[in-house]
Amino acid sequence: MAHSKSALKRIRQNVRHAERNKPFRTRAARTVRAARSAILSGDPSAAELVRAAQSALDRAARRSIIHPNSAARRKSRLAQQLKAKLAAS
């Protein structure tokens, strides 16, 4: 347990920030999961879901909820998966 006043305040801030950021992190994760499952199942709306996932990742990165490089990496991998699935079809 924290002993100093500043450490106690930092704990309170971390809780508040985590609650504020949770919807953006969850939205990004859910849209990526939906896009990935649509790609694997061959859903015709997979490209639209990938765009939605990329948008959610960008929003999370813009708010510094996830690292910008992490968002770029996830977007790239989604696009690669979609392209590979479309080429195989």
Instruction: Please say whether the beta carbons of 78 and 37 come within 8 A.
Output: no
CB 60 within 8 A of CB 28: yes
Alpha-carbon dihedral sign for residues 1, 15, 25, 57: negative
Q: What is the pLDDT of residues 21-66, one digit of tens each?
A: 999 999 999 999 999 999 999 999 999 999 999 999 999 999 999 9
Spatial distance between the Cα atoms of 35 and 17, rounded to a whole number of angstroms:
27
Q: 3.30.70.20, 1.20.58.110, 2.60.40.180, 1.20.58.1000: which CATH number matches 5-88? A: 1.20.58.110
Q: ∠ CA 74-76-78 to the nearest 5 degrees?
A: 70
Whole-model pTM over 0.85: yes
